[in-house]
């Protein structure tokens, strides 16, 4: 059986704009949420999905990559990075009512934003964000949109209206097939994200970012944010710490120290 080659492919990529992991911030003792005051950046985990989307559109010979993001304070700096890589446009949901959203609330917002982004053949996400790392959002979005899904993709190829995906497993990988449209989460490190060119960075400044409020998406404020979160942090406690170890400067004897330490533990 021969399938019509897809010559036009629209890919939506969910991206998160997060505080720089080099400066992870702190916990607000009153609200018990992460304090996110500094500038946000594109979560590196999402750069792989953006790269893969660009490659798939290239391979199809037409179409575009649309970004979807939810962020406070109309933040676009992370989106601009992905637009500079080559994404065509973005939908940004920014609304004070979203503060305190849990993974399920976040998924409800992203699912609506994906619908607003237009007809997609494929939706890509990271396997988890670097700051919240619940890892449930991809499947939650897929279920909300009624789509088939594959998580932990190492590679994606499109054959007609089918996606063929290599999925990471405990012991290797599985070859998976599913019909499009589908949602796929992409394992970090499986492609090399391109660096934005100077031209790309300049072009990104004028690419359209459709900023919306939850009302524009038809979302009831009681289902998201603090109001909608079905969970609540009741306490933040200091975890037990390890006793301080012996830290020495290597003067050529570091190796002997390690050998003696391993001998003492009887592992050698």
Partner 1 sequence: MSVSKIWVFAEATDGKVATITLEMLAKARTLGATVECVYNGADADVIAATLGAHGATAVHATGDLGGALAGRPIAAAIAAAVEAGNGPDVVFFGTTYDGRDVAGRLSVKLDAPVITNVVDLEDRDGSLVGVEPVFGGTQNVITKFTTDKTQIFLIRPKSFAAEESGGAAASVASLPVPDGVVAAKIVNRHVEEKTGPSLDEAAVVVSGGRGLGDKDKYQMIEDLAKTLGAAPGASRAIVDAGWVPYSYQVGQTGKVVKPTVYIAAGISGATQHLVGMKGSKNIIAINKDPEAPIFSVADLGIIGDVNKVLPKLIEALKAR
Distance of closest approach, residue 102 Cβ to partner 1, in angstroms: 5
Region for 86 from its dihedrals, namely left if φ exceeds 0, alpha if ψ lies in -120 to 50, beta otherwise: left
Angle at 134 between CA 148 and CA 236, to 5 degrees: 160
Crossing angle between the packed helical segments 137-145 and 103-116, to the nearest 10 degrees = 50
Q: Which of residues 23-42 bind partner 1 (CB under 8 A)?
A: 24, 26-27, 32
Q: Kindly tell me which of 76 and 149 has the beta carbon lying closer to partner 1.
A: 149
**If binding is defined by CB under 8 A, does position 1 make contact with partner 1?**
no
Q: What is the Cα–Cα distance from 221 to 70, expressed in whole angstroms?
A: 15
C-alpha distances out from residue 31 to 81, 91, 99, 170, 257, Å? 30, 28, 11, 38, 46
Site string for partner 1, 79-118 (x = CB under 8 A): -----------------------xxx--x-----------
Backbone angles phi, psi at 127, to 5 degrees: -75, -30
Site string for partner 1, 156-195 (x = CB under 8 A): ---------x-xxxxxxxxxxxxx--x----xxxx-x---
Q: Kindly tell me which of 123 and 176 has the beta carbon lying closer to partner 1.
A: 176
Q: What is the Cα–Cα distance from 62 to 123, expressed in whole angstroms?
A: 16
Residue 123: alpha-carbon gap to chain centroid: 12
Interacting stretch for partner 1, rule CB under 8 A, among 10-18, 150-158, 196-204, 214-222? 150-158
Site string for partner 1, 213-242 (x = CB under 8 A): ----------------xxxxxxxxxxx-xx
Q: Kindly tell me which of 77 and 169 has the beta carbon lying closer to partner 1.
A: 169
Q: Which of residues 4-23 bind partner 1 (CB under 8 A)?
A: 21
**Residues present in the chain in total:** 268
Per rule CB under 8 A, count of chain residues that contact partner 1: 81
Distance of closest approach, residue 123 Cβ to partner 1, in angstroms: 13
């Amino acid at each position: 059986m021969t399938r019509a080659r897809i010559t036009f492919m629209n890919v939506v990529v969910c991206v998160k704009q997060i505080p720089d992991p080099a400066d992870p911030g702190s916990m607000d003792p009153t609200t018990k949420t992460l304090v996110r005051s500094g500038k946000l950046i594109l979560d590196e985990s999402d750069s792989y999905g953006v790269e893969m989307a660009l490659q798939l559109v290239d391979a199809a010979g037409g179409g575009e990559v649309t970004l979807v993001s939810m962020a406070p304070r109309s933040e676009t700096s992370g989106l601009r990075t992905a637009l500079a890589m080559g994404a065509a446009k973005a939908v940004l949901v920014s609304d004070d009512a979203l503060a305190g959203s849990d993974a399920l609330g976040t998924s409800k917002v992203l699912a609506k934003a994906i619908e607003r982004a237009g007809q997609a053949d494929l939706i890509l996400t990271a396997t988890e964000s670097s700051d919240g790392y619940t890892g449930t959002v991809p499947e939650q979005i897929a279920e909300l949109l009624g789509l088939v899904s594959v998580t932990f993709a190492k590679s994606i190829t499109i054959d007609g209206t089918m996606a063929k995906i290599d999925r990471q497993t405990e012991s290797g990988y599985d070859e998976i097939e599913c019909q499009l449209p589908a949602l796929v989460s992409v394992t970090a490190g499986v492609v090399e994200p391109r660096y934005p060119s100077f031209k790309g960075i300049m072009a990104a400044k004028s690419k359209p970012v459709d900023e919306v409020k939850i009302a524009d998406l038809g979302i009831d404020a009681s289902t998201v944010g603090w109001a909608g979160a079905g969970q609540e942090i009741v306490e933040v406690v200091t975890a037990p710490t390890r006793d301080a170890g012996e830290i020495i400067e290597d003067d050529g004897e570091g190796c002997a120290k390690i050998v003696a330490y391993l001998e003492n533990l009887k592992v050698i």
